[in-house]
Amino acid sequence: MAIAASSTSLKPSPSSTTASWMRHHSLSTTFGVTALFFRRSEPRCRRFVVLSMDAKPTILVAEKLGEAGVKLLKDFANVDCSYNLSPEELCTKISLCDALIVRSGTKVNREVFESSSGRLKVVGRAGVGIDNVDLAAATEHGCLVVNAPTANTVAAAEHGIALLTAMARNIAQADGSVKAGKWERSKYVGVSLVGKILAVMGFGKVGTEVARRAKGLGMHVIAHDPYAPADRARAIGVELVSFDEAISSADFISLHMPLTPSTSKILNEENFAKMKKGVRIVNVARGGVIDEEALVKALDSGIVAQAALDVFTVEPPPKDNKLVQHVNVTATPHLGASTMEAQEGVAIEIAEAVVGALKGELAATAVNAPMVPSEVLTELKPFVSLAEKLGRLAVQLVAGGSGVKSVKVTYASARGPDDLDTRLLRAMITKGLIEPISSVFVNLVNADFTAKQRGLRITEERVILDGSPESPLEFIQVQIANVESKFASAISDSGEIKVEGRVKDGIPHLTRVGSFEVDVSLEGSIILCRQVDQPGMIGKVGSILGEENVNVSFMSVGRIAPRKQAIMAIGVDEEPSKQSLKRIGEISAVEEFVYLNL
C-alpha cells in the first residue's frame, strides 16, 4: 500500500511532543489503561493517564434509546440523555462529550466534529444506516463510528411486508374511510400478491428477510444487488438479476439498499419509464434512493399504481409534501426499526459497541476503521507495540530540520502474504512516526488520513521467510529515506535511517540500528552510543547513570569486529539528566550518542 504524498512534510523538533492538556485528558480519559492504540506513552502523558483513571467518560445520548442500553452505558460512564437538541445545542454540548449516540434523526455533520475540539472519540449509530453521519469528517478527526447493524433487521423486514400487504389491500385508505363513516367496498378492491413478481433491490440483511417472507406469501422473488453472492440468493430460491431486468419485470419493487452517492435517486424518471405500468413500490430503505418528484409524476401518470413509504428525503417531510398527500401513497413515519424488541436489541448492541470502543477495544461494528478479529488481535498485540516503538525510534533519529516524507516498512514472516493484515501495524508505525514530532494524536481511524495530509508516504513490503510460521512475524523494519540522522550510525549502507525489531518472549526488542545488530528490550527509553569497542565501557556508562539512580534495564553491544566500532544500546527506566548525558558524551571512546524517548 502506498499513501500518496501531498505538499506538507514532518519537521522534527525537540519540543514538539507537547499537546494541549485537553487532548491528553480526553485521550487518557476516553481510552484508559487498556487502550491499545490510543494511549500516548510520553512520561508527561502518563501523568495525565493516572490523573484521569477515575474520571468517567461522558456519553451524550441524543435520541431515545432502549432502557437496557442506557443502563449498560450508565454502568461505565456519565450519561447525558438530551433529546431534540437543535444543531447549535448539539455543537455546544459535544465539546464536553467523549461519545455520542444517535439514531437517524440527528445529523452528525462536520461542524459537530469540529465543535468537539478533539474530545469526541466515538459516534454510535443506534441502527444500520449511517448516512446521517459525515464519515469523512469523523475519520479526519480520528473519531470512530460504530453502528448496530443486526438488531433491527427483522423489524425492518416485517415493516416492509406490512407496507406491502397494506398497500396491496388499501388498508390505510380503507381504515380512514370507515372512520369517516363511509362503507366503500368497491372503491377499495385490492390486488393479490400470490404469483406476482417481487424485485428486492438490495439483497443484504433486510432484503433477504423480506425475500424469505414474500416467498412464504407465494410471490416469485427476484433480487438485484451487485455485491451479493449468487449462492446465498439461490439458497432461498431467489434469482439475482440485473438492475434493468429487476425493475422492468417486477409487479412490486421493494428497496433495501443503503443511501450512498451511487444509490442516491436510483429510482428516477429514466428508470420509472422502464417499469411495468401499474408497478407498486415499497421503500423502507432511505427516502433519498428515490427521486421523489419523479415518483409523484409516475404516480400521476399511472406508471406506478401505488407506493408505500416509510422514509423520506427530508424527515419529517413538509406538511404539504405532494408524495405524502398522494391518494395512492401509504406513509409511515420511519417506523421500520420501531418495535419494542428491535429497540431493546439495538440499544444493547450500540451500548456494548460504544463502551467497548471507549475502553480501547477494537470494535466489531466499526464503520470507518478496519475490523480486526479478536484472535488476530491477541496474536498481533506485541507486534502492535513493537510497530509503534519502531516508528517512535526511527523518527527521533532524524536530524532536526529534515522533512520525513518517505518511509518503507518491511514485514518479514514465514506466513503466506494473505495471512497478515498489516493495517493495524501500519497505523501504529504511523502513530509512532507522527506523535513525537507533532501535537496531533493518531489512531487506527485517522492514521492513513493523517499520514497523507502530512505528505508522509508509507510503502509496505513483505519478505517471506522459510521456517515455522508459528509467529505471525519474524521482524519489522522501518526505513526513513532522504533524511539526515542525528546519530550517523543509524544510516544503513543504502543511505536510509534503519531500525529493526523483533518480539522475544512477548516483549518488543530493538535488534538492528543502521548496519549494527543490537538487542535491547523496548520497555523504557534508550541511549544509543557509538564507540570504539574496548574494555570498561559498559562500566563507565553504567556508573554515570547509577550516580543519579537511573536504572539500567538492558545493555547490548553490537560491533563490526573486536576493538573496532561498536554500538552500545542501553535501556533505562528513568530519563537521565542532561548533565549525565553530557558526561556520557564526554567519555573519550564515545564518538556519538543519542537519547531516545519511547
Ligand X SMILES: O=C(O)[C@H](O)COP(=O)(O)O
Ligand Y SMILES: NC(=O)c1ccc[n+]([C@@H]2O[C@H](COP(=O)([O-])OP(=O)(O)OC[C@H]3O[C@@H](n4cnc5c(N)ncnc54)[C@H](O)[C@@H]3O)[C@@H](O)[C@H]2O)c1
Enumerate binding residues for ligand X (CB under 6 A): 103-105, 126-129, 152, 334, 336-338
Q: Which does 500 bind (CB under 5 to 8 A by kind): ligand X, ligand Y, none?
A: none
Active-site pick, 334, 509, 512, 583: 334
**Least distance between ligand X and beta carbon 289 (Å):** 12
The burial of 506, by beta-carbon neighbours within 10 Å (0-12 exposed, 13-18 middle, 19 or more buried), is given as: exposed
For ligand Y, which residue of 334, 415, 431, 512 counts as binding (CB under 6 A)?
334
**Least distance between ligand Y and beta carbon 308 (Å):** 12
Active-site pick, 67, 88, 184, 315: 315
Nearer to ligand X, 24 or 159 (CB): 159
For position 226 contacting ligand Y by CB under 6 A, the verdict is yes
Nearer to ligand X, 338 or 492 (CB): 338
Report how far residue 462's alpha carbon sits from residue 129's, in angstroms, rounded to the nearest whole number: 37
Report how far residue 145's alpha carbon sits from residue 138's, in angstroms, rounded to the nearest whole number: 7
What is the CA angle 178-195-198, rounded to 5? Answer: 80
DSSP label of 361: P
Collect all residues with Cβ–Cβ distance below 8 Å to 185 and sequence separation of at least 6: none
Nearer to ligand X, 130 or 518 (CB): 130
Within residues 160-219, the interface with ligand Y by CB under 6 A covers 201-207
Active site residue 334: yes
In Å, how far are 453, 501, 588 from 560, measured between CA atoms? 40, 19, 19
In Å, how far are 460, 515, 527, 571 from 596, measured between CA atoms? 25, 18, 6, 10
Report how far residue 546's alpha carbon sits from residue 472's, in angstroms, rounded to the nearest whole number: 38
For position 128 contacting ligand Y by CB under 6 A, the verdict is yes
Beta pairing, strands 516-521 & 525-532: unpaired
Nearer to ligand X, 35 or 73 (CB): 73
For position 336 contacting ligand Y by CB under 6 A, the verdict is yes
**Least distance between ligand X and beta carbon 307 (Å):** 18
- Contact range with ligand Y by CB under 6 A, out of 80-88, 230-238, 331-339, 511-519: 331-339
For ligand Y, which residue of 94, 200, 284, 555 counts as binding (CB under 6 A)?
284
Q: Which does 285 bind (CB under 5 to 8 A by kind): ligand X, ligand Y, none?
A: ligand Y
According to the 3-state scheme, what is the secondary structure of 173-232? HHHHHHHCCCCCCCCCCCCCCCCCEEEEECCCHHHHHHHHHHHHCCCEEEEECCCCCHHH
User: How are strands ordered across the β-sheet holding 252-255?
Assistant: 239-240, 220-224, 197-201, 252-255, 279-283, 304-309, 329-331
**Least distance between ligand X and beta carbon 127 (Å):** 3
Nearest by Cα to 513 from 459, 477, 461, 462: 477
Nearer to ligand Y, 365 or 556 (CB): 365
Nearer to ligand X, 348 or 541 (CB): 348
Q: Which residue is nearest to ligand X (CB)?
A: 127
Active site residue 286: yes
Nearest by Cα to 205 from 151, 276, 143, 241: 151
**Least distance between ligand X and beta carbon 103 (Å):** 3
Binding site for ligand Y (CB under 6 A): 128-129, 149, 152-153, 156, 201-207, 224-228, 256-259, 262-263, 284-286, 310-311, 334, 336-337
Q: Which residues are part of the catalytic machinery? A: 286, 315, 334
